[in-house]
Amino acid sequence: PQGSEEAKAFVNAFLKRSMPKKKDEAIHDILTRKAVVLEHYSKKQRKQKRKKPKGFTAKQRREMRLFEIEPEQQRYAIFLPLHELWKQYIRDLCHGLKPDTQPHMVQGKLLKADLHGAIVTVTKSKCPSYVGITGIILQEFKHVFKIITKDDKLKVVPKLNSVFSLEIDGFISYIYGSKFQLRASERSAKKFKLKGTIDL
C-alpha cells in the first residue's frame, strides 16, 4: 500500500503523461475540482494511395503476340460452337427472332452487339479480291475484321470501303464498314443514325 504522498506523486505523473499540453497549474486546478477528463492524442495516419495496376501497352501486346491465333488453331470447325453461342446470344438480345419482329429493331441491336462468332460475307468492296469472302469473325479491331473461312484460311478484311452481310434466322443485315470503324467496346455506347448517306 502506498502512502498519500506517493499516491499524489503517482497521480500527478500520470496526468502529465495523459495531458501533455496542460501546464502544472491547470492540472492542479483540475485536481482541486476533483473532475479529471483525460485527453487522448492519436497520431494521424496518412492514407496511402492505391496504385492502379497498369495494363500492357500496345507495343508490349504486339511483342507478346497476345492477339495472334496460332496456325494449328486456324480451323473453321473449331469455331462453329462459337457461332452457335453467338446465334443464341442474338436471339436473347432481340427477345426471340419472330417473323413479326421489326427489321429496324434487329438492325439497331446488331449495330451494338458483339460480332465475335458471327458469320459474315463481304458483299461489296472497292478491292474486288475481298468480295465473296465468307466466314466466322474471330477478332474485331477498330479498322479490320479477322475472319476464318470454310477452307481454314484466316483473312484480314478492312472495314473501310467494304460492305458485309450478316444473316440469322432469315434476317439479313448489312454492315457498312466505313461507318463501323470502332472497337467493339466503343460501339456499344455509340448512337448510330438509322438513315444517312452511304458511300463505299
Taking only the tens place, the pLDDT of each residue in 4-18 is: 778 778 877 877 777
98-143 pLDDT tens trace: 777 777 777 778 888 889 999 999 999 999 999 999 999 999 888 9
Residue 105 β-bridge partners: none
Residue 70 in 3-state DSSP?
A: coil
pTM: 0.65
Phi, then psi, of 4 in degrees rounded to 5: -65, -35
pLDDT at 194: 55
Average pLDDT over residues 55-68: 80
Residue 29 β-bridge partners: none
- Sketch out the chain's domains with CATH numbers: 2-33 (no CATH), 72-189 (2.30.30.210)
Task: Name the residue among 141, 137, 149, 159 with its Cα closest to residue 62.
Answer: 141
CA 25 to centroid of chain Cα atoms:
65
In this structure, the dihedral spanned by the alpha carbons of residues 175, 104, 135 and 61, taken in order and rounded to 10 degrees, is 60
